[in-house]
Amino acid sequence: MLLTSENHGDLILTHEFAKYVEEREFQIYMCRKADPESKGKIENVVKYIKRNFARHRSFTNIDKLNEQCLAWLSRTGNAKMHHTTQKIPAEVYASEKAHLRPVQKKIERISNSSITRTVRKDNTIWYESNRYTVPIGTYDGSDKEVAVRVAEDNKLIIYEEGSGHILAEHTLCLHRKGELIRNHNHGRDRTKGVQAYIDHVAERFTDVDQARTACTVLPTLQMP
């Protein structure tokens, strides 16, 4: 969401988007709902692409689709005369290009402020269509929120917003969606010592003392 409200014509943007607009130094224009003179113009472009390019086209992979789309733009989308303006989009772009401001190549991901995510029942959070684990016990039955930020090395930092205590660090998954990025240490209750886990396992055996000894010795043995 980019826009939260309107105050007598003044647009009230979300905090993060307002910072982005300030950094990029561009002006925005918000289309009104069900307004054919503004919103409808954009929707018609999308409709044209869907019907003229995408409809009945077989999907192989995203690279092939991008290649086909660029070819379609060259021969149709940008090459044919627009019925209303009676102009060819490619020619209009060529004449306007000299007056356009260049966009900064590198987009800084770092922000002094952070965004929050709700901790799910399985002790994970959603971030950019992927799930990232937090230590077991972070979910406390409420709609608990944690803060997240991205460091320069594409590290996702998850921390408590009030205290700043870091709960987890993960390498961002940038090229896939729907993944579970897991730290296996998060599955263990860190408030319990190793001995507590040994006792828990040993109690499942008939000879508790022998099982406890085996649990202690086995990790020290070297396999042949």
Residues 162-215: pLDDT tens digits? Answer: 788 999 999 999 888 999 999 988 876 655 566 776 777 778 888 888 877 877
**123-190-223 Cα angle (round to 5):** 105
Tens of pLDDT, residue by residue over 74-125, are: 999 999 999 889 999 999 999 999 998 887 666 555 454 568 899 999 999 9
Within 33-153, strands assigned E span 115-118, 124-127, 130-133, 145-150
pLDDT band at 5 (very low <50, low <70, confident <90, very high): confident
Within 10 angstroms of residue 169's Cβ, the number of other Cβ atoms is: 13
The helix or strand, by DSSP H or E, that contains position 6, with its residue range, turns out to be strand 3-7
Please check the confidence at residue 67 and state whether its pLDDT lies above 60: yes
